[in-house]
Amino acid sequence: MIQTVLGPIPAAELSVTLPHEHFFCGSTAANLAEPPDPRDRALAKQPVSLEIRDWLEYNWHCNRDNLVLNDEATAIAEALRYRQAGGRSIIDPTSGGIGRNPQGLARISKQTGLHIVTGCGYYVEATHPPAVAKMTPAQITDEIVDQFANGLDGTGIKPGVIGEVGCSWPLTATEEKSLRASAKAQKILGAAMEIHPGKHPDALAQIVKILQTTEVDMRRVILCHVDRTLQDVRKLVELLKTGCTVEYDLFSRETTGNYYRSVGITMLSDAQRLDHLRAFIDAGFLKQLLISHDVSFKHQLHKYGGQGYDHILVNTIPWMRQRGFTQAEIDALMIHNSRRMFDLPE
């Protein structure tokens, strides 16, 4: 079964799925920075609007308002566009400290008819509630296990995925504690675990090396944001051989803006993402691939000139067909891999 914010459903009902999106999210503690050009500081203080959409494309991390998703009516409107395009389910792995809103997700689910799965655990250290620093690994594990049993934040709404578990580069001691504790919870629960890696090509290998010292089931480990982290297909194949799943979850993000340049990242285009997926499929790893958008910021929404939650369905899948992806391959990426990954043991 799949644990949604409205309760469990049979796994077979998890049809077309985006495995990594956010409806409510606040990432100012992790991402907010001064504009690189002092002349842009006034823009950084403006509310998000179409008038500054071009500037946000390159400076999305400099505008405080852009880094907060908290408008339920807008979330419902954007979710409905995905629903109308054929989407049926969304995994929202918003973890503790970055604006998780289980009750809001339940209302979105009721209004749109989407199956929504929420997450638990902790994001990067900059966003941790103060108590996390003093928690032992066992306490973090016990908290996650309790949330799966009894619900989040006193709401009774249960998570269906661990994460996204936040890791920085370099990995901090507290983040490693959280990662190991989450892996222990994964072993106990049998749930999938989504991991946010640090922004360095070696971050994924470091995470996998740590996880291999635990009892985690690597078949339930999802390495997120691969398309901005490690772009060497051969190295990614070595990671796939450990049994983990890699997630290309930045579809529609093609601009290498100031944020990515500052950390040495060249953002892939959607065409390059499809090239990578083709290479992995041809190498026999179709069942270990997931794709999504990781909508986290206002400028990604249709309301503000972005591509929204429906970009893959509206724009990418038709292109995949033109490029020779079979329907069976598309169904694996959009339905079967998520259904298998997020199916909880009884």
Distance CA 49, CA 57 (A): 12
The stretch 87-105 carries a mean pLDDT of 97
User: Residue 97, class by beta-carbon neighbours within 10 Å (0-12 exposed, 13-18 middle, 19+ buried)?
Assistant: buried
Helices (H), 23-101: 28-31, 41-44, 53-59, 72-84
Mean pLDDT, the chain, whole residue set: 97
Distance CA 31, CA 43 (A): 16
Confidence of residue 91 (pLDDT cuts 50, 70, 90): very high
The stretch 274-296 carries a mean pLDDT of 98
Specify which residues 162 forms β-bridges with: 120, 193
Going by C-beta distance under 8 Å and a sequence separation of 6 or more, which residues neighbour residue 323? 274, 278
Confidence of residue 346 (pLDDT cuts 50, 70, 90): confident
pLDDT at 253: 98
pLDDT at 268: 98
Instruction: Render pLDDT for 219-270 as a digit per residue (tens, 0 to 9).
Output: 999 999 999 999 999 999 999 999 999 999 999 999 999 999 999 999 999 9
Instruction: Render pLDDT for 23-45 as a digit per residue (tens, 0 to 9).
Output: 999 999 999 999 999 999 999 99
pLDDT at 87 over 90: yes
Give the type of residue at 294: D
Confidence of residue 211 (pLDDT cuts 50, 70, 90): very high
SS (H, E, C) 299-313: HHCHHHCCCCCCHHH
Distance CA 288, CA 290 (A): 7
Distance CA 88, CA 346 (A): 23
Tell me yes or no: is domain 2-341 CATH 3.20.20.140: yes
Q: Tokens in use for 181? A: 């504790």
